[in-house]
Amino acid sequence: MDYARPIMWNVPHWAEIALYAMIPLVLIAFFAGVVWRVRKWSIGQAEPGTLAPGGQLLRALAPLRLAELVKTILFQSRLAGDGFSIVMHQAIFWGMVVLFLGTALATIDQDVAHLVFDAQVLRGGFYRFFELALDVFGIALIVGVGMAAYRRYVVRPKRLEATRAGISLWDGFPFLAVLFLIAVTGFVAEGLRLAEGFHIESQAAVAATRGPEARRASLERMGLRERLRMGAERQEAELDRIARGEPVFPAAAWAPVGFALAKVFHPLSVGSIRALHQVTWWLHALLAFGLIVAVPLTKAFHLISSPANMLLRNPAPAGRLPVVAESGVDTVRDLAWRQLVQLDACTWCGKCQEACPGHNIGFPLSPRDLVQAIGAELLRTPVRANGQTRSLHGEVVRPEQLWACCTCRACEEVCPVQIQHPRLVVDLRRRLVDQGQVDEGLQEALMNLQRYGNSFGQSPRKRADWTKPLDFKLKDARKEEVEYLWFVGDYASYDQRAQEVTRALAKVLHAAGVDVGVLFEKEQNAGNDVRRTGEEGLFSMLREKNLKELANARFRKLLTSDPHTYNTLKNEYPSVGDPPNGDDPLAGKPVLHYAELLDELLRQGKLPLARPVDRTITYHDPCYLGRFNGVYEAPRRVLRALGVELVEMPRHGPDSFCCGAGGGRIWMKDTPGIDERPAENRVREALRLPGVECLVVACPKDLVMFQDAVKTVGAEARLRVADLAELVNEAIATSSEPSTLVETSHDRTG
Amino acid sequence: MNLVVVVRQVPDLIEPLEVSASGTALDYETASFVVNETDDHALEQALLLKESGGGTVTVVALDYGEVDNTLYTAAAKGADRIVKIARADDTPPSPAASAAAYAQAIQPLGPELVLVGIQAHDELDGVVPPLLAARLGMPYVGVIRGVKRGPEPGAVSVCKEFPGAVMARLSVRLPAVLGILGAEQPPRYVPVSRIRAAMKTAKFDEVAGAAPPPASRVEVCRLYPPPSGARAEMLSGTESELAARIAEILAEKGLLK
């Protein structure tokens, strides 16, 4: 039996016209809001070496990237790891999507199918399915909103606490309340509509006791014909159907929530039901319109800005820091347009803050608050520069926030909408450096780097002194051709404890017959951390000097000890541009961290492992090896091959917790008043693992930081800090040679 | 205020210093040069004075060592004018010759205040600042930690350090020469990009060196590294043995009763 959804039931004609008249106004307000937000992005700077926004958009629409975005949105996949959050977002997102599409479909049914063709899509089985779907997703929306409210107002995780600088008053509770009320008014209107149907049916049923004709007459008397807004032929058919005793709303039972509510409302009089229905219907419509208008003005804008940000994100490697202005960022106008999109994309979810080592140990830094404060400043800044734009330094962002960042990228890694917080920090730091405002310890390191090419303030001639105790000679890559040019790095060259590791690696490479050489005193600090302190000029100088030496050397591959060095050599030393510079000394030359080389040697069977290393260990992923460059498995494969028992810390792989050395923090003074140092936090995490006797690192800075932290937490006897290279050397060392892991208790120098 | 700062180059102590073949001077061939630390403070103090109430800062230096780097850095920090005094060879002259050369270059500048580091570590007795003051015919106050404007026009208020950490605040009528031990705040950091910009834009006024002054009455007879003593006693043994031995030594020296 065919039947269709009654259209605009109980809605007076004037109300229908008013509703439709409002739609263009709502759309105008919505698009005006969107344009207002998007125009703010235009005050940002172009990024040298990248496409203009238009070109970015075209490239972003390439099928692969679009598919990735669609996947991210449909499955909210960037929230992976937080089940509650995924369910909540999916419920609200899909609830709203289906309800919106349902409403749109009903509108099309009315305005196109019905008015133009006198036919309806919402009929029969599809109509039933439609009713069921809308009820189910309406419930989903309420559940999602309930979950969000539960998390915000009952669980109250720190990361969701109110920000210091909110971008709008119309957020949080009002937003959730509106979503909730839209769902509730929708259900109530449905319930009231169905309840009136019950009344009509029971009146008709009373009349029907006097015969089928009386039932039909009673329906006519109730004005049902006029209330069924459809062509005369279809009206007739519908009346016939209802006169046969079928329900007025034949899919009523397929809308379980509305049906249940109808039972509740049934005792009310028909007049009350009809009046209440009209009020609720209006409420529902106005709330929905209000929501649409509010989208660009509130947190809901992330429906637009977050996907826009993901589409327009820079596809360059995470380890390549973009530079728009060497002298850094003073006002929001100095930021790149892409960064402005990122500010708008933030949803205040606070996951960055939860992951931030600085925030975790009591530094005055929250990546979320930083983004929020600058985002709020963006909204306050007029598109046209009339007069002075306020400096971000001072009231908006304080220097101590900026210096607290380890540039470990944990925030960026967890950000569901791919905001690059460390880039923002470095841009702002550049300004401080330009103005000469640097921490005392940092100033000393930077002056040493300017003058001597190392942060230790040691003579450049002593850079290769670590090689002296070796009983073989390392090749001089300046004089003879080598397969691997080993760029050792500052800490691995000058720090007394790290030197032991550097020598252990040299022995391993020697034993494996690797053709390797170094630049001796011609090597200078590669500048990875210099760049991240904001001293861009010094980074450029160091890069030029090193590239000049590298251009004079003959080698096929670059090998590094320090993941920081690795990152910048791999991502920031090769000339960027299209086409790449022909005389780039690094063109076509792979850069390897020694963990990768050891892994390769292992695979080729070139590591003469003589005895298994019988230890229970845990491994710390260095930020610049793991999160920045995705090298997680190579060191683990080497460790497993050694025969150690590897126990993972809760925070490992991409969730690794920074030792606190990155971004130049290793040179800065300790911040007074902190709860604990990041390295101490990390050492305590390792100490909580049962049976673990050794914390294995693959970064000289980690070695230095954790060696200190093991002492300051008083765990020297329980936990040894050792480098991957030392374990390998132990496994290949001939019995005559003492293990490099005999008690080592040198203090950190420099 | 018309401020003049004298900036000297000294051998960098991160490299081991060698005595020249003559046995009476350093081997400057093997040394690398760096700005004299107290002169860096003098420059910082001059810049602070300029920033607190206007004026010009002129930096005066003798041309040897890596003076250009130092001067570009000074320009990047905010020095308005740079005077470089030509020099026949690439070594620091004697204190008397230095003072004569600085005085000849500074006199025409008509300075109100000359700031110079209290001592350069390759210099005898820290005599350059007072010699310079004498040649300029200006009063000299040394061992200064911090200079402020005032209290009255034509004077500055200086903080002078005396032995035993006694500090005095003096009012010095201008013009004067001040021997600076430390500026009010540590020398500022100047980023490499600004130094590089200064290399492109900064101009040096090059002036001729002074006629050599009469020979100094002080002569260096021999320069030699301090002989290493052989009196260190290396302790060995268990922790408790070591502790006992240390206590014994302290008691021997009368530090423990």
User: pLDDT tens digits for A430-439?
Assistant: 999 999 999 8
What one-character DSSP code corresponds to residue A286?
H
Mean pLDDT of chain B: 91
CB distance A450–B15 less than 8 Å? no
Q: Which residues of A touch B195 (CB under 8 A)?
A: 537
Q: Which of A98, A264, A276, A289 is nearest to A189 (CA)?
A: A276
CA-based radius of gyration for chain B: 22
- Mean pLDDT (chain A) is 88
Phi then psi for residue A652, to 5 deg, are: -140, 175
In a domain, B124, yes or no: yes
**pLDDT value of position A191:** 94
Pick left, alpha or beta for residue B125 (phi over 0 → left; psi -120 to 50 → alpha; otherwise beta). left
At A90, list the tokens: 């999916």
- How confident is the model at residue A747, as a pLDDT? 42
String of DSSP letters for A189-243: HHHHHHHHHHHHHHHHHHHHTT-HHHHHHHHHHTTHHHHS-S-HHHHHHHHHHHH
Q: What is the pLDDT of residue B88?
A: 82
Residue A115 or B76, more confident: B76
d(CA A507, CA A505): 5
Contacting residues of B for A535, CB less than 8 Å apart: 191-192
Q: What is the largest CA-CA distance in chain B?
A: 70
Are the beta carbons of A593 and A560 closer than 8 angstroms?
A: yes
- Do A692 and A617 form a contact (C-beta atoms < 8 A)? yes
With 50 as the cut, is the pLDDT of residue A167 above it?
A: no
Nearest to B14 among A326, A450, A459 (CB): A459
The CATH number linked to B151 is: 3.40.50.620
Is A232 or A572 the better-scoring residue by pLDDT?
A: A572
| DSSP, residue by residue, A93-111 | HHHHHHHHHHHHHHHHIII
Instruction: Test B189 with A433 for CB contact under 8 angstroms.
Output: yes
Residue A316's contacts (CB-CB under 8 Å, 6 or more residues apart) are: A50, A322, A576
Q: Is A745 on the interface with B (CB under 8 A)?
A: no
Reported as a pLDDT band with limits 50, 70 and 90, residue A227 is confident
CB contact under 8 A, A447 and B34: no
What ipTM goes with this model?
0.88
Q: Span B149-175, mean pLDDT?
A: 92
Fill in the amino acid letter for A652: H
Chain B positions touching A536 (Cβ under 8 A) are: 191, 193
A441 → chain B, closest CA residue: B189
Answer for the pair B117, B37: CB distance below 8 angstroms, yes or no.
yes
Of A443, A458, A461, the CB nearest to B189: A443
Distance CA A564, CA A541 (A): 17
* Confidence class for position A106, pLDDT limits 50, 70, 90: confident
In this structure, the dihedral spanned by the alpha carbons of residues B103, B105, B107 and B112, taken in order and rounded to 10 degrees, is -90
Domain ranges of chain A: 82-161+173-297, 304-434, 454-599, 605-749
Question: Comparing C-alpha atoms, which of A364, A353, A354, A356 is closest to residue A673?
Answer: A364
Task: List, for residues A530-562, the tens digit of each pLDDT value.
Answer: 999 999 999 999 999 999 999 999 999 999 999
Bridge partners (DSSP) of residue B172 are B156
Chain A hits for B190, Cβ within 8 Å: 436
Under 8 Å between Cβ of B80 and B71? no
pLDDT tier, B256 (very low <50, low <70, confident <90, very high otherwise): confident
Q: What share of chain A is helix, strand, coil (3-state, %, to 5)?
A: 60, 5, 35
Q: Do B193 and A326 touch (CB under 8 A)?
A: yes
User: Residue A736 pLDDT more than 50?
Assistant: no
Q: How confident is the model at residue A156 (pLDDT cuts 50, 70, 90)?
A: confident
Q: Could you report the per-residue pLDDT of A664-692, keeping only the tens digit for each?
A: 999 998 777 787 899 999 999 999 999 99
Q: Which residue of B has its CA nearest to A430?
A: B191
The residues, any chain, with a CB within 8 Å of residue A659's CB and separated by 6 or more, are: A620, A622, A678, A679, A682, A699, A701, A702, A705, A706, A709
B241-254 pLDDT, tens per residue? 999 999 999 998 88
The pLDDT value given to residue A247 = 86
Closest CA to A341 of A381, A301, A287: A301
Tens of pLDDT, residues A484-530: 999 999 999 999 999 999 999 999 999 999 999 999 999 999 999 99
Sheet holding A645-646, edge to edge: A645-646, A616-619, A694-697, A720-723
**A260 in helix, strand or coil?**
helix
Distance CA B33, CA B13 (A): 9
**pLDDT score recorded for residue A407:** 96
A449–B contact, CB cutoff 8 A: no
d(CA A274, CA A265): 11
Q: What integer pLDDT is reported at residue A750 of this predicted model?
A: 36
Q: What is the pLDDT of residue A287?
A: 95
Residues of A in contact with B15 (CB under 8 A): 459, 461
Residue A142 pLDDT greater than 70, yes or no: yes
| Residue B137 burial (CB count, 10 A) | 10
CA distance B118 to B179: 4
Q: By the CB < 8 Å criterion, does A450 face chain B? A: yes
Among candidate residues A510, A435, A474, A433, the one with its CA nearest the CA of residue A668: A433
With beta carbons less than 8 A apart as the criterion, state whether B53 and B27 touch: no
Question: Closest partner residue to A537 among B14, B34, B192, by Cβ?
Answer: B192
pLDDT in tens, A34-93: 999 999 999 999 887 666 667 767 776 777 677 777 777 776 666 666 788 888 988 998
Q: Quick check: A274 and A183 in contact, CB under 8 A?
A: no
For residue B162, tell me if it sits in a domain.
yes
Give per-residue pLDDT as tens, B46-58: 999 999 989 999 9
Whether the pLDDT of residue A743 is over 50: the answer is: no
* Per-residue pLDDT, A746: 42
For residue A423, which phi and psi values (nearest 5 degrees)?
A: -60, -40
Measured on CA atoms in the order A587, A592, A596, A600, is the torsion positive or negative? positive
Which spans in A416-495 are helix H? 421-434, 440-452, 490-494
Q: Is the CB of A451 inside 8 Å of chain B's CB atoms?
A: yes
Helices A302-312, A53-60: crossing angle, 10 deg rounding: 90
Q: Is A558 on the interface with B (CB under 8 A)?
A: no
Residue of chain B nearest A444, judged by CA positions? B189
Q: Which residue has the higher pLDDT, B100 or A113?
A: B100
Inter-chain CB proximity B14 and A541 less than 8 Å: no
Nearest Cα to A591, choosing from A566, A561, A624?
A566
- Nearest Cα to B60, choosing from B86, B41, B34, B30? B86
CA A391 to chain centroid, in Å, comes to 27
Distance to chain A for B70, nearest Cα, Å: 11
B34, B188, B193 ranked by CB distance to A537: nearest: B193
Angular region, A619: left φ>0, alpha ψ -120 to 50, beta rest: beta
Whether residues B15 and A443 touch (CB distance < 8 A) is answered with no
Residues 323-382 of A with CB under 8 A from B: 326-327
A189 Cβ neighbours under 8 A, 6+ residues apart? A277, A280, A281, A284
Size of interface A-B (CB pairs under 8 A): 41
CA atoms within 13 A on the CB side of B188: 24
Residue B169 has a CB neighbour count (10 Å cut-off) of 11
* pLDDT band, very low/low/confident/very high, at A749 (cuts 50, 70, 90): very low
Give the closest of B188, B189, B192 to A541, CB-based.
Answer: B192
B192–A450 C-beta distance less than 8 A: yes
- Using CA atoms, how far residue A495 sits from A9, A697, B254, in Å, is 81, 15, 38
* B45: pLDDT strictly greater than 60: yes
Spell out which chain B residues touch chain A, with contact meaning CB-CB distance below 8 angstroms.
14-15, 34, 186, 188-196
| Cα–Cα distance measured from residue A83 to residue A75, given in angstroms and rounded to the nearest whole number | 12
Q: Kindly give, in sequence order, each residue whose CB lies less than 8 Å from that of residue B154, ignoring residues fewer than 6 positions away.
A: B173, B174
Phi and psi at residue A176, to the nearest 5°: -65, -40
How far apart CA B202 and CA B221 sit, in angstroms, is: 42
What digits encode the pLDDT tens for the residues A390-449?
999 998 999 999 999 999 999 999 998 999 999 999 999 999 999 999 988 899 999 999
How many structural domains are present in chain B? 1
Residues B191-200: tens digit of each pLDDT: 999 999 999 9
Contact flag B189-A450 (C-beta cutoff 8 Å): no
Q: Please report the pLDDT score of residue A221 as a whole number.
A: 86
Q: By the 8 A CB rule, do B111 and B3 touch?
A: yes
Architecture of domain A304-434: Orthogonal Bundle (1.10)
Q: Which residue of A has its CA nearest to B12?
A: A459
A377-386 long-range contacts, Cβ below 8 Å, gap at least 24? A377/A332, A378/A40, A378/A332, A378/A340, A378/A343, A378/A344, A379/A40, A379/A167, A381/A40, A381/A43, A381/A331, A381/A332, A381/A333, A383/A39, A383/A40, A383/A42, A383/A43, A385/A43, A385/A333
Alpha helix positions (H), A61-166: 63-75, 83-108, 115-117, 124-150
Q: From B235, B180, B160, B167, select the one nearest B42 (Cα to Cα).
A: B180
Chain B contact for A452 (CB, 8 A cutoff): yes
A559 near A486, Cβ under 8 Å?
yes
Instruction: Say whether pLDDT at A231 is over 90.
Output: no
Q: How far is B16 from chain A (nearest CA, A)?
A: 10
Residues of A in contact with B196 (CB under 8 A): 537, 541
| Interface residue of B12, B34, B47, B189 to substitute, partner A, most A CBs within 10 Å | B189
pLDDT band of residue A735 (cuts 50, 70, 90) is very low
Interchain CB distance below 8 Å, B189 and A436? yes
What phi and psi values does residue B120 have, to the nearest 5 degrees? -110, 140
Q: Which CATH architecture has domain A605-749?
A: 3-Layer(aba) Sandwich (3.40)
* Across A96-118, average pLDDT: 83
Contact A434 B192 (CB under 8 A): no
Q: Tell me the residue length of chain A.
A: 750
What pLDDT shows up at residue A296?
92
Contact A457 B14 (CB under 8 A): yes
- Please name the residues in contact with A494: beta carbons below 8 A apart, sequence gap of 6 or more: A454, A456, A458, A462, A463, A466, A749, A750
pLDDT tens-digit map of B25-41: 889 888 889 999 999 99
Of A423, A420, A346, the closest CA to residue A377 belongs to A346
Q: Rounded to an integer, what distance in angstroms lies between the CA atom of residue A419 and that of residue A402?
A: 16
List the single residue in A with minimal CA-CA distance to B185. A440
- Assess whether the region A304-434 and the region A605-749 belong to the same CATH fold: no
Q: What pLDDT sits at residue A600?
A: 96
In chain B, which residue's Cα lies nearest the Cα of A459? B14
Q: Which residues pair with B114 in a beta bridge?
A: B4, B177
Chain A residues within 8 A of B189 when measuring between CB atoms: 433, 436, 438, 443, 446-447
**DSSP state for residue A736 in the 8-state scheme:** T
Residue A327 with chain B: CB contacts under 8 Å: 193
> How far, in Å, CA of A313 to CA of A307, rounded?
10
